[in-house]
Amino acid sequence: MVPSNFIPHADHLERQAPLSEAIWPDHALDIFSDRLVTLCNDGQLREVRTDSALPREVKNEVACHRVSVPQVRKMWFSDYALMNVKTLDTDEGEKGQRMARMSGTLFVDGQQGEGELVLRVSELLYALCEAVQNPFRYSNGAFYGLALPGECEETLRQGRGLIMAYAVPPAELRAAGVGNEEWMKMAFFECLQTIQNDMKEIKPKAPFSLMNLPVPSRSMLVAELKQQGYEIVQDRAISNMNRGTLAGRMLKMFGNLTGQGFTLPPEATLQDYLKLGRETLANVFEPVPYRMKALQPPPPPPPPPPPKPEYMSVTTSPSIPRATPPPPTPQLPNTPANDWMNDFGGGGVAGPPPTPKKPKTYTPPPPPKPTGKPDWAKDFE
C-alpha cells in the first residue's frame, strides 16, 4: 500500500526483481532486531533477515556496527516502506507551514516507483536530529537513515505508515565509503535556511533571523566562490557577481553581495547542526512536531504492585493459621421479674423499678451513767 503522503510519478508501481545470483546485497545501511536494510548491486534497497546468506563484506559491516553500537534501532511499526532519497527541495506553501519535498524511489511490498514525499519542514528537521543519534557505523564512516511520517496521526499511532528514507550517494562517490554524512549536513542547511527566510519576513529582529547560519562545507563554498569570480580576503568574499548556483542559494542570507563583500559563514559539524536544530524546533515550532509524536512507541503499561512480604500479611503466612472467631452467644431478653404473670392475666403494666433505700448506719448505745454505790458494796455495811 502506497503511503498517502507519497505522490508517485506513474499510475502503478513496478515489480521489484528478487534477490538472485545476479542481484545480491552490496552494503548494509540499517539494522533492526532481526531485519537488515541493504543496498544491492543494482542500486535498489531491499530488506533481508540478519540470518540470511550474506556476502562477507556485508557481514563485516554488520559486525563492525555491532561493536561500535551495541544496541540496534528499535522498531515497533507493523509495516513500513523504504525510500531511496535523491534530492531535497522546499515548497512555498503557507507562512509558517512551509513544506519539504523529497524525491526518490519508494520500495513497498516488493514493488518500486519514483515519486515525491511531502511533509513539513519542521518534521524533516526533527527527523534529521533523530537520525544523527541513530547512525549505522562502519569502520571508516557512518550512514544515517530518516524515520518519516507517510500517513495521518491516527494511522501512525496504529503502527502503520512509517517510511524509512535513506540518501544513498551516487556510485561514483562511494570510493571512500557509502556514508552519507555530507548529504545530512546539506539537508540540515536547507531546512534551517528555509525557516530563517520565513522568520526574516515574520520577525526580522528575532535572534534566529539575524543568525549567521553555518554551512556544510566552507572549502566547497570558497572553491565555488572563486569559480564565480569572488576574491577571498581572509574571512571575506568580495565580488560584484552573483549567479544562481548552489553558492548563490547558500549566500542569499548573508546580506550584501556587492563589492562591499560579506563575511564567510563558519563550517558546522553534524553535532553543531543537531544542537542548532533542537534549538530551532524549541524556539520556532515545538520540541516534537505533532505527527512525529505519533512515531514514538506507546508507553509501556505500569508494572503491577509488588506482593506484600509474608511477615506483613497474616492471611498469607502458612505458619500462622488464622484464628476462627467463636460463634456469637445468644442474648436473652432483659425483662422484669413480674413479667411472667402477664401469661396468666395478672400483673399489670410494669412500672419503673423502686428506688433502693439507703442502708442505715449502726450507732452504739451510750454507756450507763453511774448512780451511787454498786449493790455488792451493801453486804459490807
Residue 257 has pLDDT above 80, yes or no: no
Look at residue 153 in the predicted model and tell me its pLDDT. 92
Look at residue 132 in the predicted model and tell me its pLDDT. 95
Give the whole-angstrom CA distance, residue 127 versus residue 121.
10
More confident residue, 6 or 91: 6
Taking residues 343-350, what's their average pLDDT?
54
Task: Mention every residue, 6+ apart, whose C-beta is less than 8 A from residue 297.
Answer: 74, 76
pLDDT in tens, 64-95: 999 998 888 888 898 899 999 988 877 655 55
Angle at 223 between CA 217 and CA 227, to 5 degrees: 145
More confident residue, 265 or 228: 265
More confident residue, 99 or 187: 187
Lowest mean pLDDT among 133-147, 167-181, 274-288, 352-366: 352-366
Give the best-scoring range by mean pLDDT among 120-124, 232-236, 337-341: 120-124
Tell me which residue of 179, 160, 155, 156 sits closest to 108, measured CA to CA.
160
Look at residue 149 in the predicted model and tell me its pLDDT. 95
Taking residues 212-230, what's their average pLDDT?
84
Look at residue 86 in the predicted model and tell me its pLDDT. 87
Residue 217 has pLDDT above 90, yes or no: no
Q: Which helix (H) or strand (E) holds 132?
A: helix 121-132
pTM value surpassing 0.85: no
CA 182 → CA 148, 193, 216, 307, distances in Å? 19, 16, 7, 55
Taking residues 333-346, what's their average pLDDT?
56
Q: Across the chain, how many H-helices and E-strands are there?
A: 8, 15
Tell me which residue of 68, 79, 31 sits closest to 51, measured CA to CA.
31
Percent of the chain residues topping a pLDDT of 90: 41
- 298 — pLDDT class (breaks 50, 70, 90): confident
More confident residue, 46 or 232: 46
Task: Please give the mean pLDDT across all residues of the chain.
Answer: 81
Give the whole-angstrom CA distance, residue 365 versus residue 343.
51
Q: Could you tell me the three cell numbers for 207?
A: 535572534
Look at residue 225 in the predicted model and tell me its pLDDT. 81
More confident residue, 123 or 334: 123
Residue 312 has pLDDT above 50, yes or no: yes
- 123 — pLDDT class (breaks 50, 70, 90): very high
Look at residue 258 in the predicted model and tell me its pLDDT. 43
- 311 — pLDDT class (breaks 50, 70, 90): low
DSSP 216-242: S-HHHHHHHHHHHT-EEETTEEE-S--
Tell me which residue of 40, 62, 60 sits closest to 50, measured CA to CA.
62
Q: CB pairs under 8 A, 24+ apart, for 74-79?
A: 74/32, 74/33, 74/297, 75/32, 75/33, 75/35, 76/159, 76/297, 76/298, 77/159, 77/160, 77/161, 77/162, 78/158, 78/159, 78/160, 79/159, 79/160
